[in-house]
Amino acid sequence: MSKIVIVGAGYAGMMAATRLERLAEPFTIINKHAYHYFTTLLHEAAGGRGEPDKYRVDIKEVLAKPSSELVVTEVTGIDRERRVVRTEAGEFPYEYLVFTLGWVPEYFGIPGLAEHSLVLRSLNAAKQIRSHIEREFRQYREDQNPVHLRIVVGGAGLTGVELVGELLDWLPELCMTLGVPWDHVEVQNIEAMPMILPMVAENLREVAARTLTEKGAKLRINTKIVQVTPGRVHLEGGEVVEAGTIIWTGGVRANPLLEQAGFTVDRRGRAKVNEYLQSVDDPHVFVGGDSAWCDGPDGRPYPPTAQVASQMGRAIADNVHALVHGRPMKPFQAHLKGTLASLGRELGVGDMVGVPVKGVVAAVAKEASKVKYLLELGGVRLAAAKSGELVHL
């Protein structure tokens, strides 16, 4: 029997796994936690929209068939010659490996950034950001030092903007609870480029900037972070911003294990795949999600989004299944349905299949996309169980 091993239970890994279950193809999935979390909603967890644990689902709740095995441990390497996955719990041999270990923060070599900033990279990190801010605000009550009330978010891509929007809905409530003056709070979103959200249309960018500014954000474009020291963000030109909370949302790169295992990678560490999502270096390895460097029909690589990752996961499962049973594989082509950015609990901007949307419509569309994902992942039962907790339509 061929041995299929999936590493990573993010969007790509989970979609590959659920599809393999439906195809009655046995596999082992290795993941650091016994749960899958909704990476696209981590800003909500950090911003206190719901309790952090509502943004996760037990993997065994979704993958319930005896033919699928879950191993909870951390992957430490891939030995391609021996075809084994090395983990903290020992080695796991594979005939076909599905590599979907997602992303790590891209620090661009900026001194002190990794050591002195928080990153919205996991559910635990979201909890950490939330409790860090609460601690800083409590500290303000003790010493009245306004630095405790200053939050710097570095990078105004989708992650930064969604986080800032969410924080600005939550912080007034936190101030009220703690008896801290809201008008002393400062949330700076610092962006090196001349614009926020470069991936959305210009008019929507303006809507996003206006909405966030009206909520109280201080948006600083053309401003590059060059160094971070404890509690201090150093900007190009010499300005230093003191802040109790420093969060980095300046970019992502693929898991470094790919490069370490000798795969051909791009400048963001993603492994090059062919049209079947198979590594160009190794036909026994499929790569999906944020780990994959896969060119779309326009010759540009697909973006590292949950939407693309989910579609890749399904396509990989179909292709591994085909390969195991000696049938032809199918080339992958993503169906890009648009980008939606939330700007807090009730507003958003983006485009749906090319149609620009903003305000409440965009926020409702984003909520609908959550339910769609839950339906795909675990059917009506999971959607009914989780969407009540996540969706506020």
Is the Cβ of residue 29 or residue 241 nearer to ligand NAD in the bound state? Answer: 241
Does 156 participate in binding ligand NAD (rule CB under 6 A)?
yes
Is the Cβ of residue 139 or residue 339 nearer to ligand NAD in the bound state? Answer: 339
Among 28, 31, 117, 159, binds ligand NAD (CB under 6 A): 159
Does 362 participate in binding ligand NAD (rule CB under 6 A)?
no
Please pick, among 21, 136, 162, 166, the residue that the annotation labels catalytic. Answer: 162
Active site residue 162: yes
Is the Cβ of residue 85 or residue 204 nearer to ligand NAD in the bound state? Answer: 204
Does 190 participate in binding ligand NAD (rule CB under 6 A)?
yes
Among 52, 165, 250, 313, binds ligand NAD (CB under 6 A): 250
Does 249 participate in binding ligand NAD (rule CB under 6 A)?
yes
Is the Cβ of residue 21 or residue 44 nearer to ligand NAD in the bound state? Answer: 44
Among 209, 341, 347, 363, binds ligand NAD (CB under 6 A): 341
Q: What is the per-residue burial (b if ≥16 Cβ within 10 Å, else e) of 112-131?
A: bbeebbbbbbbbebbbbbbe
Q: How far is the CB of 103 from ligand NAD (least distance, A)?
A: 8
Is the Cβ of residue 146 or residue 303 nearer to ligand NAD in the bound state? Answer: 303
Does 158 participate in binding ligand NAD (rule CB under 6 A)?
yes
Site for ligand NAD in 299-328 (CB under 6 A): 303-305
Q: Which stretch binds ligand NAD (CB under 6 A): 8-16, 53-61, 248-256, 323-331?
A: 248-256
Q: How far is the CB of 310 from ligand NAD (least distance, A)?
A: 12
Is the Cβ of residue 264 or residue 369 nearer to ligand NAD in the bound state? Answer: 369
Instruction: Give a three-class secondary structure readout of the chain.
Output: CCCEEEECCCHHHHHHHHHHHHCCCCEEEEECCCEEECHHHHHHHHCCCCCHHHHEEEHHHHCCCCCEEEEECCEEEEECCCCEEEECCEEEECCEEEECCCEEECCCCCCCHHHHCEECCCHHHHHHHHHHHHHHHHHHHHHCCHHHHEEEEECCCHHHHHHHHHHHHHHHHHHHHHCCCHHHCEEEEECCCCCCCCCCCHHHHHHHHHHHHHHCEEEECCCCEEEEECCEEEECCCCEEECCEEEECCCEEECCHHHHCCCCECCCCCEEECCCCEECCCCCEEECHHHEECECCCCCECCCCHHHHHHHHHHHHHHHHHHHCCCCCCCCCCCCCEEEEECCCCCEEEEECCEEEEHHHHHHHHHHHHHHHHHHHHHHHHHHHHHHHHCCC
For ligand NAD (CB under 6 A), the number of binding residues is: 29
With CB atoms as reference, the residue minimizing the distance to ligand NAD is 157
Q: Which stretch binds ligand NAD (CB under 6 A): 139-147, 239-247, 249-257, 326-334?
A: 249-257
Among 8, 10, 112, 155, binds ligand NAD (CB under 6 A): 155
Q: Which positions lie near ligand NAD, rule CB under 6 A?
A: 40, 108, 110, 154-160, 162, 190-193, 198-199, 224-225, 249-252, 303-305, 339-341
Residues with a known catalytic role: 162
